[in-house]
Amino acid sequence: MDLSAGGSGRMTIALVVLLGLAAAAWGTMEPGKYRSLTMILLGFFAVRILLGRMKYRQDVKKLM
Protein backbone atom coordinates (compact mmCIF):
# COMPACT_ATOMS: atom_id res chain seq x y z
CA MET A 1 0.00 0.00 0.00
CA ASP A 2 1.42 3.33 -1.09
CA LEU A 3 1.25 5.82 1.80
CA SER A 4 3.11 8.63 0.04
CA ALA A 5 1.57 12.09 -0.21
CA GLY A 6 -0.43 11.28 -3.34
CA GLY A 7 -0.67 7.55 -2.85
CA SER A 8 -3.85 5.59 -3.28
CA GLY A 9 -3.34 4.00 0.14
CA ARG A 10 -3.84 7.31 1.91
CA MET A 11 -6.93 8.03 -0.15
CA THR A 12 -8.37 4.61 0.67
CA ILE A 13 -7.74 5.07 4.39
CA ALA A 14 -9.31 8.55 4.34
CA LEU A 15 -12.41 7.31 2.52
CA VAL A 16 -12.79 4.37 4.91
CA VAL A 17 -12.55 6.75 7.88
CA LEU A 18 -15.21 9.00 6.32
CA LEU A 19 -17.40 5.96 5.69
CA GLY A 20 -17.04 4.97 9.35
CA LEU A 21 -17.95 8.48 10.48
CA ALA A 22 -20.98 8.48 8.19
CA ALA A 23 -22.12 5.11 9.55
CA ALA A 24 -21.67 6.32 13.13
CA ALA A 25 -23.59 9.51 12.42
CA TRP A 26 -26.37 7.60 10.69
CA GLY A 27 -26.72 5.18 13.59
CA THR A 28 -26.52 7.65 16.45
CA MET A 29 -28.16 10.85 15.23
CA GLU A 30 -31.88 11.49 15.03
CA PRO A 31 -33.20 11.96 11.50
CA GLY A 32 -33.43 15.62 10.67
CA LYS A 33 -31.48 18.63 9.61
CA TYR A 34 -28.37 17.93 11.72
CA ARG A 35 -27.90 14.42 10.35
CA SER A 36 -28.47 15.71 6.83
CA LEU A 37 -25.94 18.47 7.35
CA THR A 38 -23.44 15.95 8.71
CA MET A 39 -23.88 13.71 5.65
CA ILE A 40 -23.48 16.66 3.30
CA LEU A 41 -20.25 17.72 5.02
CA LEU A 42 -18.83 14.19 4.99
CA GLY A 43 -19.77 13.88 1.32
CA PHE A 44 -18.03 17.17 0.60
CA PHE A 45 -14.83 15.91 2.22
CA ALA A 46 -15.04 12.62 0.27
CA VAL A 47 -15.38 14.50 -3.03
CA ARG A 48 -12.51 16.77 -2.04
CA ILE A 49 -10.29 13.73 -1.38
CA LEU A 50 -11.20 12.22 -4.76
CA LEU A 51 -10.55 15.48 -6.60
CA GLY A 52 -7.18 15.86 -4.86
CA ARG A 53 -6.20 12.34 -5.94
CA MET A 54 -7.26 13.05 -9.53
CA LYS A 55 -5.22 16.26 -9.57
CA TYR A 56 -2.16 14.45 -8.22
CA ARG A 57 -2.44 11.77 -10.89
CA GLN A 58 -2.79 14.42 -13.60
CA ASP A 59 0.27 16.30 -12.31
CA VAL A 60 2.33 13.10 -12.31
CA LYS A 61 1.35 12.39 -15.92
CA LYS A 62 2.44 15.91 -16.93
CA LEU A 63 5.89 15.34 -15.44
CA MET A 64 6.46 12.20 -17.49
pLDDT of res. 33: 94
3-state secondary structure string across 7-51: CHHHHHHHHHHHHHHHHHHHHHCCCCHHHHHHHHHHHHHHHHHHH
What pLDDT does residue 4 have? Answer: 74
Torsion from C-alpha of 13, 14, 15, 19, nearest 10 degrees: 100
pLDDT tens digits for 5-56? 667 888 999 999 999 999 999 999 999 999 999 999 999 999 999 999 888 8
